[in-house]
A and B are shown apart, each in its own frame.
Chain A
Amino acid sequence: SQELEQSPQSLIVQEGKNLTINCTSSKTLYGLYWYKQKYGEGLIFLMMLQKGGEEKSHEKITAKLDEKKQQSSLHITASQPSHAGIYLCGAAIGSGSRLTFGEGTQLTVNP
C-alpha cells in the first residue's frame, strides 16, 4: 500500500475553474513538498510545508498542511492552461532526508 495517497489521479477542468488536489498519509509528515512536472521533464518545486496548520500561497496556488500533519491540499484558483501538468506531493515520513512520493495527479486545463 502507498504510504502517501494522492487524489484524484487525474483531473480535467475548464479554464477559470478552481480545483483541489489532496495528499494523505496515515503517518505524521515531517516536511511536505509539492512539485509540478511536465511530461518527460524534471520536477519543479512549488512549496514546502512543515508546521501543522501551515498555509502558503504563490500566485494562484495555495497549499495547506492540516493540524495533525497527515494531510495536505493544493488548491488552484482560476486555473489556466499553464497550470496543466502532473502534480506530485512528497513527504519526509520519519527521520532522515529521503522523501516518499505520491503517485501524482495529472491535471488538464481546457481553454
Chain B
Amino acid sequence: DGGITQSPKYLFRKEGQNVTLSCEQNLNHDAMYWYRQDPGQGLRLIYYSQIVNDFQKGDIAEGYSVSREKKESFPLTVTSAQKNPTAFYLCASSRAGQNNEQFFGPGTRLTVL
C-alpha cells in the first residue's frame, strides 16, 4: 500500500528542547510539505521541498528547520526558537509541478509542557 506516514502521533516536549517529527512517503513523489494547523485555523505552510537536497521556506518558517536527504523522507525539527510550538503538524506529498493533488499524512500533535 502506498501512502504517507507520520510519527509519532502524539509528542510531548519540555520548553527549550528541540524535537524532530518524522514524515515518510512511498508514493515516489518529488514534492513534500509541512503544515501547521491551530484550532479554528486552516493550514499554514512551514517548509516545502520540490526535489531532494532542496527546500524553501513557507509562510511561518521561523523556529523550524527541515532536511531532504532522501526522496522518501522530509523530517521537521521544531527548535527552541519556536515561541508557540503546540499545534497539530501535517505532512503532505505530491508529484512535482502545478495542480497535483497533495496527499496528507495522519498528523502529529505536539504539546509543549
Contact = CB atoms under 8 A, between A and B. Distances in A.
Interface of A: 4, 6, 9, 30-31, 33, 35, 40-45, 48, 50, 88, 90, 92, 95-104
A11 B55 CA distance: 38
Interface of B: 6, 31, 33, 35, 40-45, 48, 50, 58, 88, 90, 92, 94, 96-107, 109
B43 A97 contact: no
B104 A101 contact: no
Given A88-B42, A104-B42, A99 B99 contact: no
B102 A33 contact: yes
Given A101-B42, A104-B41, 9 more contacts: A9-B40, A30-B98, A42-B107, A43-B104, A48-B101, A50-B99, A92-B98, A97-B48, A98-B48
Nearest to B101: A45
B47 to A, nearest CB: 10
A31 B98 contact: yes
Contacts of A30: 98-99
A37 to B, nearest CB: 8
Nearest to A104: B42
A99 B43 CA distance: 9
A21 B107 CA distance: 25
Contact of B103 (A45, A88, A90, A103): A45
Contact of B104 (A9, A31, A42, A95): A42
